[in-house]
Structure 1
Amino acid sequence: MSSTTHITQIATVAIHVSDQQKAVEFYVDQLGFEVRRDAPFGDGRWIEVAPPGASTTIALVPAGIPAGIRLSTGDADAVHADLVARGVDADAEVLRMGPAAPPMFTVRDPDGNSLILVEDS
């Protein structure tokens, strides 16, 4: 079966951390990663780290923010409509949390694993 996709890459894998600053110190000081993004997010921060030159990042997120794999797409609305038409188990609509966060939605695979599709910023 051949199909096309408008999903462009595995962008970020988010993991839960109990202390974002300690996690940053581990990844940067001990593993040699670099901070790619550090921005306000809700009541906390959205922090992404990665090895130099890597395209995929690790988001160090506090409890309450969904962990998991985030995929990139250029147009969340179009991809959402396409996946729903294909019968994919997807959120009812694209989530918009305001100007600080890009449009996104979640799909679930046959085993219930969640993948979050995020529009490229």
Structure 2
Amino acid sequence: MNITIFSSFLPHTDPEASLAFYRDLLGFEVRLDVGQGAMRWITVGPAGQDTSVVLYPPAADPSLTEDEQRTIAEMMAKGTFASLLLATADLDAAFEALEAGGADIVQEPIEQDYGVRDFAVRDPAGNMLRVQERR
């Protein structure tokens, strides 16, 4: 059996801000952009890789109650609802580019006790992204 990760999902609250972050700051390519206004599903991913991230509007799920939508919005605002782990060969250059681009830096590069060097940043919707150094 050969199973790979194809897509993962992260919520967004502002499609244009999400595009500016994932496309312009991270350099991901836009693979699909469907919908209108705030109700857009935007698929992005690193060039040359099959793995994608689908940025979706959490309010589009009709099965969520108002209380659940409110809880998700509160968790997103705190950066505790969704997360993504990225990797790069040049952690310092990635950090400097994101910092210079005005990204919401949560933690500067640090050598973690568990054996990785990484930093943390939040996307415009509040999703927590950790970027670790590929060794």
TM-score by length of 2: 0.39
TM-score, L = length of structure 1? 0.43
Higher helix fraction: Structure 1 or Structure 2? 2
